[in-house]
Structure 1
Amino acid sequence: MASMSMDKNFEELCYSCRTGDIDNLDRLISTGVNLNGVDKFDNSPLFLASLCGHEEVVKLLLQRGAVCDRDRFEGARCIYGALNEAIKETLLSYDISKAVDVKQSFATHVSSIYNEESFLSRDISFRAPNGQLFTAHRFLLCARSEVLAEKMTNEWAKIEIVPIEVHSDIFEIFLKFLYLIPILHQIEPGQYEELIKLSSDLSIELLPEFLDKARHIADPTKKSRLMSDYQYKFTEIARNQLLLFVNNCIFSSAVDVAEDEQQTTSLMNCPAYPDIQLSVKNRNGTTRVYPCHLAILNRAKYFKVMFTNNFKEKLTYVKAKDLSGHNNGVATQLTLPNCEFEVAEIILRYLYADSTDISWMYAVDVLLLADILLEDRLKTITSTIITQSKEFIQEHNVFDVLYLSWEIGVERLEQFAAKFIAMHLQELYKDPEIEKAILLSSERISLRQETDTIELVDDIRYYLLRKYSFEPDDVELFQNQDDLEYLKEVGYLEYRKDMEMLESILTDLELDV
């Protein structure tokens, strides 16, 4: 079943590359689909995007790990098949030896917390033989390595500074690797042996395999290709590891608190190694507390502003007991806006592991919460899921979708609603909601003049042309055509019927547009 799902995702990815749907492409890439596969016609996603002239899609594919090797047939096809010079230049100039997705918020954010010192609390340090000190986050190390997680639970449980026997330059490379900093191209030949031993001892998935291959390759082009292939794999492994950590350590450690309970439970000593507790209340009045991390919550702009500007009024300090029932001082707690626990957990999976597995049933609530958290990318991805879900539009009124798009400012949803209205205009013509929607759209124009266009009306007119596969020039020609059979055959009579319905609505509203 999983492979069928991945095949379907790959087909959809190829379609998005042909049409230039960068939002849907972003969503599909987050599912782990193979960017370097080929479709039944032997076309790679990168080739399709290049051939169809979608420069931004080409850039995103390259940043996410798609390989354009000019020394191979597929790479040469991409370059010579590129629709324009800008795409060709992008493909020729892209340095695959340093391939890293600077726009992928997950990898970029994890890398950023390595150097962030201001407020993202690190809770473990390592002292190298030369005395150099490295600080890190226990939770991230636990997520990235089962061996490190076991050491944290046992021999390092009460140690703040761990002495290590590894050379400082080797340990620094290793630590940066765990934080997803692109350092593969910086490894010197003399460092491979020690890094292979260290990564093998700590069971770091695929890293020993990569290092063993890389040390036997002298050709820079071949080594660059290898780095590009593995860099993407390493990011996907990290995403899956953090997703497991969220499910197994954060969600499994969360506790429910009754509405009238005055004293909550401290989770600060649970297996997640949290530095803050996130409190959420659902519609039944039950509060659930999740052990979380400032370093990850900081990925959402709302939390980043809160933490960096020291908005202490948003934080609460609760008297708490530990899991064994003993008093444990106070715990720092942050409250998320009221929502169902499933919605809160979708948000946490996204922040921690870039998971975009969002059910259409929770999509509206996720959109609203993402809007509060100022997470525009999550809003875009969720709106993409909505527009591709047949179940969603069967259960929700299209006008509610339109009003939601205006409320949270998602153009994709607005276009989806306008297209749906155009495609079903003859069914919706008598629905009073369509007049209300057009009137509200007209009121959204600041200082609207009597003959100004109305955005919703313009969009409906555009999608009516699309509905019948017409261009504006076609309509002018049809207007001067007397052959009714021909006009019926090409669909113009149905198009005119739709347009007359729209004009009738505008006349009833006394709107001249």
Structure 2
Amino acid sequence: MSEETKVFKDLLIACRVGDLDTVDTLLSTPNLNINQTDEWNYSPLILASICGHVQVVSLLLTRGAVCDRDTFEGERCIYGALNDEIKNMLLSFDISKKIDVSQPFASHLASMLRPINPLIVDDIIFKLKDEPDEVYKLNRFLLAGRSPYCFDKLNDEWKDRNIIELPDNPSVFKQIIDYIYLKSDKLTYDTELIESAKLWGLDILGESIEKLKNKEFKERSKINHDSLIQFIEKARSDMNVFVNTMIDNKIIIKMEELDFEEDEIEFDDLKPQDYLNNLQMLQLLNSDSFPDIILSVVDVVTNSIVYYPCHRAMLLRSEYFDTMFNSEIFSSNNDFPTVKFDEGEIANIKELSIIKLNCTNSEVAELILTFIYHDDITYLPLRLTIDLLFIADELLLDRLKTLCAVNITSKFKDFSWDEFLNMEEKVGYDCFDLIRISWQTRCDKLEQYSTKLIAYNLEKIFNSPKNNDLLKELINESASRIKERQNTDTIELVDDIRYYLSKKYGVSGESSSDFLDLGDIWTKGTEDSKVMKNAMLSYERDIEMVDHFLDQLDLDA
């Protein structure tokens, strides 16, 4: 069984039993299709709905689960709902809102078509012969990344042109552009559109329209639904290929090529814009990435400055860059010359501004770009995960922070002592440091995982002098994080350890008194009663260890 299949099966089980925490964790798995079904046509949402798990249904909807009442799956989900609360939630859930919440990549591309944000750079215009008043202000890089036809044209016939006149049917051209920018809504069968899709190299669009031929309403609705999901995945795939091409177009300047000695270098003070010459700038400007800005990184690992041809429209997915581009200092010096035409103007990019990313490793910078341009990272080495987490936090990319946490938690799933001991060698940080990092980056998923790993190995940590001291130090730090802490205040780390101990030993509450009343079961000497009694004794032993740590630190929590 493949890893993807196992994750999906685990998700189905968690949805059936209502395990909210497990569902939340599994939904962060890269490339998981939340809307796929099993061999009995059950999707995660259908199972959560018919089993009556309100919170799980709500979580699935906000994370991208689709409930389209015009499809068989949607009807089954709604009318099979165990209670009215779930049924009403499903009926009132707006698919367009779902896309905005769960598909930030798709909604961002769609927002670029008629941008409200003035920082989105339109750099090419399409006018139609049949509709002279209809003008499309578009983005070269997105056309090149999504259409092989446009890529060839932009590198040849359209290379030095800002305004392109096309003879296409306006309706067909609009649907082509809607597809490229993920604005497609409902498809209709159109032979001319099929031919245009083939010309532009948009095979999935053409194939989806072909499927609509002679289909009834319900069949068309399902085809539309499935096609829109395919379109988003194809766009992400296209942009993954494009960002790799963009990264290949980077320019690297070795420190040894510059006019200072290596021991004189102050990396933080370096200004990358001072070291790129006109020829190199022209090389980036004329690359097949069609950039409108250059992102630079001072790489202390390879002693070099790396320059990437990028696009403001995509960097704006990070609030950090959005704030930067809106700042007075940046905007006053970075206005493009424009090309004016009857219906307005577009940018005429003849030179590129250079911005610096506060990252000391170009490998990490390329992971950031990969995520921003196609919403995922295909492969993330463990050794780079924490560096990426710090940059993701600085750039305010919360989903990327979650992916970083999942990259660690998915590799250490057993909460064993061996995993505890191997964490530093494989990740670069031990479990105690991971908690400190989670505090710094506000990464709750990593904090909870690391705390659980400590709780599940508490006895061995307690009996290891080195780890015993490290845990005491961490508990003390957790206590000090509460401003003006009183003696009776709780300590977050201690509370979390106690919580995970209760999970480990099956305690229904927070203390041994909250075990289910075993009554006569213990006196009968059954195997179950022995297991439960041993679990309670082990739980009480571990709780005593926690209290011992607190006594040594003179803390009360």
Following the alignment from structure 1 to structure 2, what is the Cα–Cα distance between the partners of residues 308 and 88?
44
The alignment partner of 2:113 has SS state of: helix
- For residue 320 of structure 2, the aligned residue among 295, 302, 312 is 302
Matched to 2:126, the amino acid is: F
Partner of 1:511: 555
Change (3 A) 1:410 1:160: same
Partner of 2:433: 400
Note if contact 2:479-2:485 (Cα within 8 Å) is conserved in structure 1: yes
Partner of 2:28: 27
The alignment partner of 1:122 has SS state of: coil
Following the alignment from structure 2 to structure 1, what is the Cα–Cα distance between the partners of residues 82 and 549?
43
- For residue 258 of structure 1, the aligned residue among 250, 254, 258 is 254
**Deviations 1:413-464 (CA, angstroms, capped at 9, x unpaired):** 1211221111111111242111111111111112211111111111111111
Change (3 A) 1:296 1:37: same
Matched to 2:352, the amino acid is: A
Structure 1 segments (4+ residues) deviating >6 Å? 95-99, 313-317, 477-485
Matched to 2:470, the amino acid is: E
Measure how far apart 1:58 and its partner are. Answer: 3.0
Note if contact 1:278-1:290 (Cα within 8 Å) is conserved in structure 2: yes
Change (3 A) 1:316 1:12: farther
Note if contact 2:499-2:510 (Cα within 8 Å) is conserved in structure 1: no
Following the alignment from structure 1 to structure 2, what is the Cα–Cα distance between the partners of residues 42 and 175?
34
Note if contact 1:139-1:273 (Cα within 8 Å) is conserved in structure 2: yes
Following the alignment from structure 2 to structure 1, what is the Cα–Cα distance between the partners of residues 518 and 32?
53
Note if contact 1:17-1:25 (Cα within 8 Å) is conserved in structure 2: no
Matched to 1:307, the amino acid is: F
Partner of 1:458: 495
Change (3 A) 1:381 1:56: farther
Measure how far apart 1:377 and its partner are. Answer: 1.6
**Deviations 1:113-157 (CA, angstroms, capped at 9, x unpaired):** 112251222221111112222111111111111111111111111
Matched to 1:27, the amino acid is: S
Measure how far apart 1:210 and its partner are. Answer: 1.8
Note if contact 2:70-2:221 (Cα within 8 Å) is conserved in structure 1: no
Following the alignment from structure 2 to structure 1, what is the Cα–Cα distance between the partners of residues 36 and 456?
36
- For residue 167 of structure 1, the aligned residue among 163, 166, 169 is 169
Note if contact 2:71-2:221 (Cα within 8 Å) is conserved in structure 1: no
Matched to 2:38, the amino acid is: V
Measure how far apart 1:81 and its partner are. Answer: 4.6
Change (3 A) 1:113 1:22: farther
The alignment partner of 1:7 has SS state of: helix
Q: How does 1:154-233 map to 2 (within 5 A)?
A: 154-184=156-186, 192-219=190-217, 221-233=218-230
The alignment partner of 2:352 has SS state of: strand
Q: How does 1:261-300 map to 2 (within 5 A)?
A: 261=258, 262-264=275-277, 265-266=280-281, 267-284=284-301, 285-300=303-318
Structure 1 unaligned blocks of 5 or more: 318-327
Partner of 1:322: none
Change (3 A) 1:153 1:479: closer
Change (3 A) 1:378 1:394: same
- For residue 236 of structure 1, the aligned residue among 233, 237, 251 is 233
Measure how far apart 1:227 and its partner are. Answer: 0.9
Q: How does 1:114-513 map to 2 (within 5 A)?
A: 114-116=113-115, 118-129=118-129, 130-131=131-132, 132-184=134-186, 192-219=190-217, 221-247=218-244, 249-259=245-255, 260-261=257-258, 262-264=275-277, 265-266=280-281, 267-284=284-301, 285-312=303-330, 331-357=352-378, 358-390=380-412, 393=423, 395=425, 396-429=429-462, 430=465, 431-472=468-509, 475-476=512-513, 489-513=533-557
Matched to 2:366, the amino acid is: E
Following the alignment from structure 1 to structure 2, what is the Cα–Cα distance between the partners of residues 505 and 230?
58
Measure how far apart 1:312 and its partner are. Answer: 1.9
Measure how far apart 1:60 and its partner are. Answer: 3.6
Q: How does 1:12-161 map to 2 (within 5 A)?
A: 12-15=10-13, 17-18=15-16, 19-20=19-20, 21=22, 23-28=24-29, 30-31=30-31, 33=33, 35-38=35-38, 43-50=42-49, 51=51, 52-53=53-54, 54-60=56-62, 63=64, 66=66, 72=72, 75=74, 77-94=76-93, 100=99, 102-116=101-115, 118-129=118-129, 130-131=131-132, 132-161=134-163
Following the alignment from structure 1 to structure 2, what is the Cα–Cα distance between the partners of residues 315 and 303?
16
Q: Scaled by the length of structure 1, what TM-score is found? A: 0.87
Change (3 A) 1:349 1:154: same
Following the alignment from structure 2 to structure 1, what is the Cα–Cα distance between the partners of residues 143 and 350?
27
Matched to 2:175, the amino acid is: I
Partner of 1:323: none
Partner of 2:340: none
Matched to 2:206, the amino acid is: P
What is the percentage of aligned positions where both structures have the same residue?
Answer: 32
Change (3 A) 1:145 1:316: closer
Change (3 A) 1:505 1:176: same
Q: Scaled by the length of structure 2, what TM-score is found? A: 0.80
